[in-house]
Structures are given as structure tokens and as C-alpha cells.
Amino acid sequence: MNYYPVARYHFDLSGTAFGAMAKNGLNDKLRHAGIIDVQFRRVRCNFPGMKVTFHVQRGSNPNYLAVLVEYADVDGTVVRMELMQTRNGRPTGFWEPMRRSWGSIWRMDTSRPLQGAFSMRITSDSGKTLVANNVIPAYWRPDKAYGSNVQFY
């Protein structure tokens, strides 16, 4: 069940996808059933040849940055994400923790405008850490994905 607080791993589908699991003609009934128990099995992702990508989400601005982690392979359940800003063209040397927004989206809210380029450090649930240096450029834009040269193996 989708209890609060949300379980570490949970099953989240759109209404259309959820209704598609119903028997013929009963999709609306299933969609409107409310909170129900569902059994599922997590499987590890496999993205051969792909590197981790950081997709800056729509609505991001200098005081609010939301980033979706994409293509994190095999060991890629990200449990921590940190950001290092650049000031006056140089990395600050300080890793700032981001907060999980939902799913694989991490965010940072700040009263002081963020300054790129941004380096991102992600940690998986097995404790492996990857650093993507200057992966999001100084002149980043919302709704744009920035590829890295790192991957969990």
C-alpha cells in the first residue's frame, strides 16, 4: 500500500498504465479503487553503452534546481546526490546535498542563486560513488539533459 511515509521502494504508475493492468472493461473500476496492495519485483536497469545523464527539470531556475538522474546502470539506485557549484570560474570545493523530490528527481532550493557549471556526485545504495565534473554547464536550461562520462558498473 502507498502509506506515508512512502516505502523505500514503491510502485508508481500513471492512471492509464494502472488501468491497463485491469481485466477487459474494468480499467476505470481499477483506477478508482483507491489505495490497494500490489506485489511487484524490482529489477536492475541495464543500459549498455549509455552513461549517466542529468536532466534539468522544467521549472528549474537559479533558486530552484531539480535534476532527474537517467541511465544509472545495474547498481544505479541513487540514494544520495550532491552538487558542487562554480564561483568566479572555479569549483567551490564544497559538496552541497540535494533532497530527493520523488522517484529519481533530486532538488535544491536556495535563497542565494546557484552558479554553474555544476559537478554532480551520486551515491548508490551499495555505497558506490560517481562524480561527474562540470556536467551541467554554466548556462544550463530547464528541460534539457546533460550527458556525463560516468556509469555504475
Domains of the chain plus CATH, in order, are 1-42 (no CATH), 53-147 (2.60.40.760)
pLDDT in tens, 66-117: 999 999 886 668 999 999 999 988 999 999 999 999 888 999 999 999 999 9
pLDDT at 10: 64
Q: Are strands 129-136 and 99-102 parallel, antiparallel or unpaired?
A: unpaired
The C-alpha atoms of residue 90 and residue 116 are separated, in whole angstroms, by 10
Whether 33 shows a pLDDT value over 70: the answer reads yes
Question: Which residues, including other chains, have CB under 8 Å from residue 116's CB and lie 6 or more apart?
Answer: 85, 86, 136, 137, 138, 139, 140
Confidence of residue 46 (pLDDT cuts 50, 70, 90): confident
Average pLDDT over residues 42-69: 92
